[in-house]
Structure 1
Amino acid sequence: MLAAAALGVLGAPAAAQTSDAAIRAALSDPAHNVAPGCVAGTFAHGQPTGLVAQGYADLAEQRPLDGDSLFYAASISKQFTALAAATLVARGELSLGDDVRQYLPELPAYEAPVTVAMLMHHTSGIRDSLGLLRMAGVSDVGTASKDEALGLLFRQQQTQFTPGTQYKYSNGGYLLLAEIVERVSGEAFADYAQHAIFDPLGMERSFFLNDNSPAKGTFAHGYGPEGDGFVLRDSFPRFSGSGGLMLSMNDLARYEYDIEQGHRVWTPEVTQIMLAPGRYTDGSLIDDGGGLAYAGGLHLGEKGGQQVIVHTGSAEAFKHAYLRLPGQHSAFAVLCNRGDWKATDRLKAVMAASDVRYPGMPLSSPEGRFYSSELNTYFRLTPVDDGIAVEVTSPFIAAPVVQHYEADDDGGFHHETMSIATTDNPDHLRLKRGTTAELTLTRVDQGAGQ
């Protein structure tokens, strides 16, 4: 049976209470008394260690966010779509190596077969269904049906590249994956996910949309900034596969418990399918362009010496991030209903408040005065909360300017198109601007130069 802490509303034990104020500050909007916001959850060994809800699910009714608030999960949905497919694979009813035309004969015969694994790992070359809808003049994809989106995919006479040879993230691939689950199981995808995933895990509120809108008053509305306030933006797709999941943080706790301890759905066989990184047809590992591979609806690999499993979700007015550190048996998530916030930034702040370093973030911030002889320019570096302040002094400007470089998960610091990275020598830094130039900064005495 699921542990009581995960069955009830998420709560923070005494040891986690000290971080709540810092997490709440990271999720607050001091400019507005009534604003959308986020729900943050922290987990250890599959057990919830904290929840902070800040902001409102409905601004007009001033209904606050809480652990049971349902969010449109956007691409966080993909791991649940992959999980539904993985349960069929584990039972022998579907194979990752199957040609998808075995189940979707409406698709043209492409230059190379598209397999189920290629859909799951974004190596199929199938075009993006949401992009196709927008190209066809649909400005609000929330008005389109699943059949309309599928119809556009079935009309595509070519893939974007030879299937299996490249990685390109595709909502269309996951829409097709959900359709395969539907045809193999013999029931609507939303219904199959309900009894194969949500019911066994006790995810009582969560569900997949099936060309319908969630009932009024049951979910967190999405909002975007407008003037001095916010405007309602519930313009998310009503069909499932690439998105479509309505998810609460309390239900995510039940999901997290099953990954770590329950194994009712995340059985060893299913876990192997979900966490095996995809490969190209030549056998090489997928590179998602950010230093990670891609498995069952999840980016995974190593960042800064830590194993990481991560995925974000983004719709017009919903921004989410979910990260697991399997080596530490810990996980962190933020679900946000405002489109002007970057979920990864909120997640980093939540983790920092929990005294956990976001994978790949710099271990320390460089500090001091450095000089570039090639630029005849001095750089004074001062650590700040989320990066470094860099005061630039050169003969080309009338007065010093200060630039803010934000710490990032590639181990460096970034300002617009420029970056500063540490080297093996603490007295040398690397300054880079796009592909224009890469220069060395050398530490100088505090009194040197101007």
Structure 2
Amino acid sequence: MLKGMVWAALLAAAAVPAIAAAPVRGADFGAIKARLTAECAADTFSGIVLVRAGGRDLFEHVCGKADIINGIANARETRFKIYSTSKFITALTVLKLVEDGRMRLDAPVTDYIADAPGEWRGVTIRMLLNHTSGIDDLTLPFIWHFRADHPSAMRGLLPALTAEQRALKSAPGTAFRYNNFGFELLADAAAKAGGQPFPALVEALVFQPAGMKSASIEAPLIEAGHLVPVSAEGLAKGYNGDPGKLDQAINWGFVQQGAGAVHASVDDFVALDAALKAGRILGPAMLAEMTRAPVDADGKTGGQAFGLGVVVNVADGVTMYGHTGGTNGYISDFERYPDDDAMLIVLTNRGNIRTAWLREGVAAALKGAR
């Protein structure tokens, strides 16, 4: 059973872009600093943590190597693969198309993807954004069809789907089921509606208006028919494993253009947060729609609720919304604390780092300074 009305009551302040409280100035991040310092010394954390409120940095911690073999340290300008935090970017792109009248939230995805199975006619853009579509997560067969680029992989996959793959796992709009492939469908639908390749749309509708100068969507790299991991100047290399036993991660972020292909730096997210507050990407009504009626995940994700491409948490009475991403060599977490005019960005190049303690610790520090 969906419980959006309950969450909507809790998130009345979060759903409104206006600031409900004065920016926090005296928050105590001593406990966070102590733990990060210890984890950096033990080589169990590598990356960047930044907290801002009221337009200024409150806390910053940088450590570890962006490239272990060549001894290149992580720095503020280092870019990271952010994986599922990309879903927040994809949602902004789709919602901008909705705001411009080029897409409709409650239109069937088949209105935009003509070769989508007829079984998906009841699935709307809104349901893809909040993971209630009922469509199976077809990421693995999608990867199998990836030979050149995202559009051709989708055109190869859809007509090849079996009856079992086409069948919905639940009635549209009735059950939460986290679905990476749903965001590949959103990328494909947005490209059709916007009349441009999806990366170009994201650049025009999000990156440029926000001033995200170093952000990009990973471009496909294919050599002799094989998918090849992307490496670029200024991009941290991802690692998995334990200290002293690290292996460089092998990943193809470009396969998941809608669900996980963005590269970005800390300052790209600083710019994004400022742009959202200034209304340079979405107007107030559409921004509020992202968190207006989030879907409760029925305990499957630790009490989180899912809005339109955004994850909503309430920790000790402090509301935050954003998105996490990663596991294959990188972990990211972008959180906005609307009642405190604050944001958190965590970018790491280790695949086994957990960030819940950071976002909850920041929530506690902000609350303690109110």
Asked whether 1:125 is paired with 2:134, we answer: yes
Question: 2:238 touches 2:349 (CA, 8 Å); kept in 1?
Answer: yes
Distance 2:264 2:172 in 1: 32
Quick one: structure 1 residues 21 and 171, their matched pair in 2 at CA, closer, same or farther if it must change by over 3 Å? closer
Comparing 193-202 with 15-24, greater Cα deviation is found at 15-24
The more displaced of 307-316 and 151-160 is 151-160
- Find the counterpart in structure 2 of residue 181 from structure 1: 190
Q: Residues of 2 paired with 1:161 and 1:59: CA distance?
A: 46
Q: CA deviation at 1:112?
A: 5.5
> Does the CA-based 8 Å contact 1:112-1:163 persist in structure 2?
no
Contact kept? 1:150, 1:176, Cα under 8 Å: no
The match for 2:9 is: none
Query: 1:175 is paired with a residue of what secondary structure?
Result: helix
Instruction: Indicate how the Cα distance of structure 1 residues 330 and 36 shifts in structure 2: closer, same or farther if over 3 A, else same.
Output: closer
Distance change >3 Å, CA 79–CA 150, structure 1 → 2: farther
Question: How is 1:21-36 mapped onto 2 (pairs within 5 angstroms)?
Answer: 21-22=33-34, 24-25=36-37, 27-30=39-42, 32=43
Stretch deviating more after TM superposition (144-153 or 205-214): 144-153
Q: What is the distance in 2 between the residues matched to 1:245 and 1:298?
A: 16
Residue 248 (1) aligns with residue 265 (2): yes
Deviation of 1:87 (Å): 0.5
1:375 alignment counterpart: none
Alignment of 1:136-285 (within 5 A): 145-146=149-150, 147-148=152-153, 151-152=156-157, 155=161, 156-212=165-221, 214-225=230-241, 228-239=244-255, 240-260=257-277, 262-278=278-294
Higher gyration radius (CA): 1
CA displacement at 1:313 relative to structure 2:
0.5
| Deviant stretches of 4+, over 6 Å | 14-18
Q: What residue is the counterpart of 1:355 in the other structure?
A: 365
For 1:324, what is the secondary structure of its paired residue? strand
Rounded to whole Å, the distance in 2 between the matches of 1:162 and 1:148 is 26
State the 1:65 CA deviation.
0.8
* Deviation string, structure 1 residues 8-49 (Cα, Å, up to 9, x no partner): xxxxxx97897485364155042x5xx871210101134433
Q: For the residues of structure 2 that align with 1:182 and 1:133, how far apart are their CA atoms?
A: 17
1:211 Cα offset (Å): 2.1
Q: 2 CA distance for matches of 1:250 and 1:27? A: 23
Find the counterpart in structure 1 of residue 104 from structure 2: 95
Corresponding residue for residue 48 of structure 1 = 57
Are the aligned partners of 2:135 and 2:166 in contact in 1 as well (CA < 8 Å)?
Answer: no
Residue 67 of structure 2: which of 58, 80, 87 is its match? 58
Name whichever structure is richer in helix by fraction: 2
Separation of aligned partners in 1, 2:286 and 2:205? 12
| Unpaired stretches in structure 2, ≥5 consecutive residues | 1-24, 222-228
SS of corresponding position for 1:229: coil
TM-score relative to the length of structure 1: 0.66
Instruction: Determine the C-alpha separation between the residues in 2 that align with 1:310 and 1:348.
Output: 13
Residue equivalent to 2:90? 81
1:145: how far off? 4.8
User: Which residue among 313, 321, 332 is the counterpart of 2:344?
Assistant: 332
* 8 Å contact from structure 2 (residues 340, 366) kept in 1: no
- C-alpha separation in 2, matches of 1:84 and 1:131: 25
- Measured against aligned partners, the alpha-carbon deviations of 1:199-231 in whole angstroms (never above 9, x if no partner) come to 111110001123246553320110012683311
Could you report, residue by residue, the CA deviation over 1:99-128 in whole angstroms, capped at 9, with x for unpaired residues? 111111211111751111111111111222
CA distance in 2, matches of 1:53, 1:312: 19
The superposition leaves residues 302-340 of structure 1 with CA deviations (integer Å, 9 ceiling, x where unpaired) of 443222214210231111222222122222221111112
Letter of the structure 1 residue corresponding to residue 335 of structure 2: L
Secondary structure at 1:217's aligned position in 2?
coil
Amino acid at match of 2:293: P
Residues 117 and 278, structure 1, Cα contact 8 Å, conserved in 2: no
Which has a greater percent of strand?
Answer: 1
What's the offset of the Cα at 1:130?
2.7
Return the structure number with greater relative CO, CA threshold 8 A, min gap 6: 2
**TM-aligned CA deviation for residue 150 of structure 1:** 6.1
Contact 2:65 2:74 in 1 (8 A): yes
- Shift in CA distance, 291/15, structure 1 to aligned 2, threshold 3 Å: closer
Whether contact under 8 Å (1:167, 1:288) holds in the other structure is: no
- CA distance in 2 between counterparts of 1:164 and 1:43 reads 36
Partner Cα distance (1:129, 1:92) in 2: 29
Deviations 1:253-300 (A, max 9, x none): 11111223x221132133133222256xxxxx7757433331121122
Give aligned-pair identity as a percent. Answer: 24
2-structure distance, mates of 1:111, 1:78: 21
Question: Relative to 1, partners in 2 of residues 1:111 and 1:316: Cα closer, same or farther, differing over 3 Å?
Answer: closer
Contact 2:294 2:312 in 1 (8 A): no
The 1-side partners of 2:119 and 2:193 are apart by: 22
Q: Who is 2:224 aligned against?
A: none
Q: Give the partner amino acid of 1:326.
A: P
- Tell me, yes or no, if the aligned pair for 1:198 and 1:206 is still in contact at 8 Å: yes
Alignment partner of 1:114 is 2:95? no
How many residues are aligned here? 329
After superposition, the CA RMSD in angstroms is: 3.0
Per the TM alignment, residue 183 of structure 1 is displaced from its structure 2 partner at its CA by 0.9
